[in-house]
Amino acid sequence: MSIASIRILPPAPTPARKGASKCGVCNRATARRKPFCKDHILRLPYPASVRRDLDSAQADQHRVNTGGVLAADILTVVRHQGPCTVGRLRRLLHLPHTVAAKYVRALVLEGTLRTRRVRGEHSTMVSMA
């Protein structure tokens, strides 16, 4: 094959942008065709369920929903990353420390997780039970 026979293909055309999406609540245009704008993003199913879990965790100091999405997210992190501290869980999942600690405690009571104090550090290591 000679150099002259090599054809340089033009870049594939960018697919035409379909009409921008509008927020289902306020009808403003949304970024990346999301169904809600940033002010109404909590209407999406996942953020809405996280919000419900956070609200119920804050409303009732002693009850957490160990069958909810926050508990499932905590278990996913521990399963995939291995043992980690409550602080790391909190940072990875963007949770207030009290909420992360409360969920870990509930999951320990339930027998799903176990914790141990890290010697010489003021942190608690969390792992699967």
For residue 22, the minimal CB distance to Zn ion (Å) is 8
CB 126 within 8 A of CB 85: yes
For residue 49, the minimal CB distance to Zn ion (Å) is 19
- Residue from 22, 34, 35, 40 touching Zn ion (CB under 5 A): that is 40
CB 125 within 8 A of CB 118: yes
For residues 91 and 42, give the distance between their C-alpha atoms in angstroms, rounded to a whole number.
20
CB closer to Zn ion, 26 vs 118:
26
The enclosing H or E element of 50 equals helix 45-59
Q: Is there binding between residue 20 and Zn ion (CB under 5 A)?
A: no
Span from 38-46, 74-82, 99-107, 121-129 in contact with Zn ion (CB under 5 A): 38-46
CB closer to Zn ion, 40 vs 105:
40
Q: Is there binding between residue 26 and Zn ion (CB under 5 A)?
A: yes
Query: Please, which of residues 73-102 interact with Zn ion by CB under 5 A?
Result: none
Q: How many other CB atoms are there within 10 angstroms of residue 39's CB atom? A: 11
For residues 92 and 123, give the distance between their C-alpha atoms in angstroms, rounded to a whole number.
16
Q: In this chain, which residue has its C-beta nearest to Zn ion?
A: 23
CB closer to Zn ion, 21 vs 56:
21
Tokens 């090599």 correspond to: 6
129, 75, 118: which is closest to 100 by C-alpha?
75
- The residues binding Zn ion (CB under 5 A) are 23, 25-26, 37, 39-40
